């Protein structure tokens, strides 16, 4: 590994010592022989400890110039565990967090020196069980012969490995050999002088882009876009960079009210990523996300399913899929995906919140409350869990408890738009319109505070100087989303609210029906909304509520035998 500080000499963890200077691992003065890939994997985990590294991060660190699949990483972890005499079912050294990645279990202690002389570094390529030919000189016919030999050897090994995979007898030797030959092919079959240097530069740009993207701030997202573009300009067929660029544009739309063409760019770059690598789970995941932020829920499902076919253990994608099914009102499917996520990782807080939302839509409000609280207990700063817990109390007309929930969170996270919106909605539904209006008007938009769709609507409706004509631009904005293909039920619901403000009963009923057809399942947000009370005696309004209740009852019958799972908080 090249990213370890020159000041680190040894890592001590458990009963093991990893000597970076000499490139060896010892236990009680006995050397544990590691192949290069196993050494690199261990070093990555030790250097990152106690941080959990995702599968993608480990692949980039251990195989920086080769595209590999999840199975290769799993086999390498298995081989490393074997070398360490680690038990996967009861690990001492390496913890696997299903669907997320790996982390080192023991506490790590560092030993430092002033500098590390490069002369004493051991060339670990000797442990790769394949000769390091990159330093040998080839010319003329010998160069041609070497290329042909490598191609023949690679084909032979690939066929041989496939045979062993099918028989279930994959060995460490063949796994190492396959990866090593693939790496040499990248370096040798191209006549250009610096193919790997281009790949390395592109990869470094990509990794920097990912790092900035994960900071979730507007300025950092813009920097991420710049790095992804630099990666593509360096290597124009780098699929992962296109996928990263797509995700950054999706985040620009979802988090930061993106530019007019951000949605188009998110979708376009995802398709470009798939064009360059049709077996990339990240590419399909990017396309699913791009469709979702554009409002096309139904279109986002197939890409997510394709991503999960390629990377079945990706819990984040599975959680997203459950969330989308829940938004569509397909609550049985949603709950099945929620269960799949949490059965693989019972500390997946996003999965817990999504499960809570689905259970709440099914009418199991007390179970939803438990799962929201569990998510908050595990990750107190996951404010979306607090937001939904507060709104749950508000929907049950437990307004004092809802106010306490939001106020306590705001004492720690002052001026957070999401929490302020939740508190304002609590006041609004409880009838304290003036307090609600004050909060809505004082909510500031910053890099960490986006204007949520509901917030935009309520901020406008409760403005002290709002005119009916000023509501029309909001209506046009949401209607344009629907005309562009959005099937998000929330868009239709907000239109009904806006037309309720204009007292246009015909359109109120029309868009409420549309929201229910698209999957809207919240009875309380229809019955309790102050602007909708005057329409509740109409026969059409009552039929809308009845339709939601019938859909909920049907779903409950189908999941009745599964409800015990959700009653037990893991």
Three-class HEC string of 138-166: CCHHHHHHHHHHHHHHHHHHHHHHHHHHH
| Residue 549 within any structural domain of the chain | no
Token output for 525: 């947000």
> Which CATH number covers residue 60?
1.10.10.10
Q: Examine the fold and report which residue of 411, 436, 466 is the final residue of a domain before the chain moves on.
A: 466
**What phi and psi values does residue 108 have, to the nearest 5 degrees?**
-105, 135
Q: What pLDDT tens digit does each residue of the chain (570 aa) get?
A: 334 444 457 888 888 998 887 788 998 878 898 888 899 899 999 988 888 888 888 888 888 867 677 778 888 999 999 999 998 888 999 999 877 889 999 988 877 543 333 322 222 222 322 222 222 233 333 344 444 454 445 455 444 444 434 333 333 444 444 444 444 444 444 444 445 588 889 999 999 999 999 877 788 899 999 999 999 999 999 999 999 999 999 988 887 766 778 999 999 999 999 999 999 999 999 999 999 988 899 999 999 999 999 999 899 999 999 999 999 999 999 999 999 999 999 899 999 999 999 999 999 999 999 999 999 999 998 889 999 999 999 999 999 999 999 999 999 988 788 899 999 999 999 999 999 999 988 886 544 444 446 777 887 788 777 777 778 888 998 888 888 888 999 999 999 999 999 999 999 999 999 999 999 998 888 998 999 999 999 999 999 999 999 998 988 888 877 777 787 765
**What phi and psi values does residue 65 have, to the nearest 5 degrees?**
-115, 10
Q: In what order do the strands lie in the sheet with 30-32?
A: 30-32, 24-27, 16-19, 8-13, 108-112
Q: Examine the fold and report which residue of 166, 191, 216 is the final residue of a domain before the chain moves on.
A: 191
- DSSP letter (8 states) at residue 530: G
Residues in a beta bridge with 108: 13
Q: Examine the fold and report which residue of 154, 170, 191 is the final residue of a domain before the chain moves on.
A: 191
Token output for 478: 């949401």
166 & 258 share domain? no
> Which CATH number covers residue 434?
1.25.40.10
The C-alpha atoms of residue 253 and residue 259 are separated, in whole angstroms, by: 7
**Torsion of the alpha carbons at 359, 364, 367 and 372, rounded to the nearest 10:** 50
18 & 120 share domain? yes
| Residue 107 within any structural domain of the chain | yes
- Domain span at 153: 140-191
Q: How many domains does the chain have?
A: 4
The C-alpha atoms of residue 470 and residue 461 are separated, in whole angstroms, by: 9
Token output for 379: 């990750």
64 & 110 share domain? yes
- DSSP letter (8 states) at residue 446: B
The C-alpha atoms of residue 20 and residue 43 are separated, in whole angstroms, by: 9
Alpha helix stretches (DSSP H) within 443-467: 453-461
Measured at the CA of 325, the angle between CA 322 and CA 326, to 5 degrees, comes to 85
| Residue 178 within any structural domain of the chain | yes
**Torsion of the alpha carbons at 239, 244, 249 and 252, rounded to the nearest 10:** 180
- List of residues 6+ apart from 430 with CB closer than 8 A: 394, 397, 399
């Amino acid at each position: 590994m090249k990213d370890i500080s020159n000041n680190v000499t040894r890592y001590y963890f458990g009963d093991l010592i990893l000597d970076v200077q000499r490139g060896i691992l010892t236990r009680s003065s006995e050397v544990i022989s590691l192949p290069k890939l196993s050494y690199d994997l261990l070093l990555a985990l030790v250097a990152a400890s106690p941080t959990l590294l995702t599968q993608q991060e480990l692949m980039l660190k251990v195989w920086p110039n080769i595209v590999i699949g999840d199975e290769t990483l799993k086999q390498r972890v298995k081989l490393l565990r074997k070398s360490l005499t680690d038990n996967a079912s009861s690990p001492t050294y390496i913890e696997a967090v299903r669907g997320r990645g790996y982390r080192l279990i023991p506490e790590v202690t560092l030993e430092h020196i002033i500098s590390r002389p490069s002369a004493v570094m051991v060339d670990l390529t000797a442990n790769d069980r394949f000769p390091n030919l990159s330093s040998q000189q080839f010319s003329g016919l010998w160069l041609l012969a070497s290329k042909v030999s490598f191609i023949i050897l690679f084909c032979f090994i690939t066929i041989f490995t496939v045979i062993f995979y099918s028989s279930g007898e994959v060995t460490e030797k063949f796994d190492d050999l396959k990866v090593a030959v693939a790496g040499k092919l990248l370096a040798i079959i191209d006549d250009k002088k610096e193919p790997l240097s281009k790949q390395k530069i592109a990869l470094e740009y990509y990794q920097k882009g990912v790092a900035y993207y994960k900071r979730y701030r507007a300025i950092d997202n813009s920097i991420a876009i710049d790095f992804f573009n630099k990666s593509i300009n360096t290597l124009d067929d780098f699929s992962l960079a296109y996928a990263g660029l797509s995700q950054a544009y999706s985040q620009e739309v979802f988090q930061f009210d993106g530019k007019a063409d951000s949605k188009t760019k998110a979708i376009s770059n995802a398709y470009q990523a798939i064009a360059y690598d049709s077996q990339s789970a990240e590419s399909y995941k990017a396309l699913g996300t791009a469709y979702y932020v554009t409002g096309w829920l139904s279109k986002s499902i197939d890409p997510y399913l394709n991503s999960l076919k390629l990377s079945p253990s990706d819990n984040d994608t599975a959680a997203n899929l459950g969330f989308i099914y829940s938004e569509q009102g397909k609550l049985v499917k949603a709950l099945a995906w929620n269960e799949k996520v949490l059965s693989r990782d019972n500390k997946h807080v996003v999965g817990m919140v999504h499960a809570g939302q689905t259970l709440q839509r099914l009418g199991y409000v007390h179970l939803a409350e438990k799962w929201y609280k569990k998510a908050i207990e595990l990750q107190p700063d996951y404010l979306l869990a607090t937001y939904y817990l507060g709104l749950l109390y508000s929907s049950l007309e437990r307004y004092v408890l809802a106010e306490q929930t939001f106020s306590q969170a705001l004492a720690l996270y002052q001026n957070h738009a999401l929490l302020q919106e939740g508190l304002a909605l609590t006041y609004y539904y409880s009838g304290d319109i003036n307090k609600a209006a004050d909060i809505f008007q004082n909510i500031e938009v910053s890099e960490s505070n986006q204007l949520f769709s509901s917030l935009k609507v309520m901020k406008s409706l409760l403005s002290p100087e709002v005119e009916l004509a000023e509501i029309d631009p909001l209506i046009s904005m949401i209607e344009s989303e629907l005309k562009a293909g959005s099937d998000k039920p929330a868009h239709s619901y907000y239109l009904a609210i806006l037309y309720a403000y204009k007292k246009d009963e015909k359109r109120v009923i029309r868009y409420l029906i549309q929201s229910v057809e698209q999957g809207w399942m919240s009875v309380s947000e229809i019955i309790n909304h102050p602007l909708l009370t005057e329409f509740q005696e109409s026969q059409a309004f009552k039929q809308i509520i009845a339709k939601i209740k019938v859909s909920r009852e049907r779903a409950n019958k189908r999941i009745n035998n599964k409800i015990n799972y959700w009653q037990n908080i893991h």
